[in-house]
């Protein structure tokens, strides 16, 4: 699945239309966010992650989405299942994000 860039309104719709969602919160000025982007794109395309929606949310332009996950620093990742936050964490490590995805893989 391809990573979708969404704003606040689209974020809410994505949570309602997908059972399992992984979100990367970023800012344009965030170097670690840019460095992680290719890894996040590859993760979205992996067969084991089929059926999981991958979203990119600009934390500075989407305050409602940011508040819902309790974003404290960037890059920040969150996993949602059935519209509910399962876990959120500030990290730049792919292993940490993969462990979060495992929580919702089912």
Catalytic choice (15, 22, 23, 33):
33
Those residues with Cβ within 8 angstroms of residue 28's Cβ, 6 or more apart along the chain or in another chain: 58, 60
3-state secondary structure 48-75: HHCCCEEEEEECCCCHHHHHHHCCCCCC
**Sign of the four-CA dihedral 86, 19, 40, 42:** positive
Evaluate whether 88 touches 39 at the Cβ level (below 8 Å): no
- Catalytic: 33? yes
Catalytic choice (6, 22, 30, 97):
30
Query: Which residues belong to the active site?
Result: 30, 33
């Amino acid at each position: 699945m391809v990573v979708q860039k969404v704003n606040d309104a689209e974020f809410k719709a994505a949570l309602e239309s997908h059972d399992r969602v992984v979100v990367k919160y970023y800012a344009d000025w965030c170097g670690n966010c840019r460095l992680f982007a290719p890894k996040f794109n590859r993760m979205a395309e992996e067969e084991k992650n089929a059926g999981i929606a991958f979203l990119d949310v600009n934390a500075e332009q989407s305050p409602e989405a940011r508040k819902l996950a309790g974003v404290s620093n960037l890059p920040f990742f969150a996993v949602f299942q059935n519209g509910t936050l399962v876990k959120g964490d500030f990290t730049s490590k792919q292993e940490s994000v993969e462990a979060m995805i495992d929580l919702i893989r089912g």
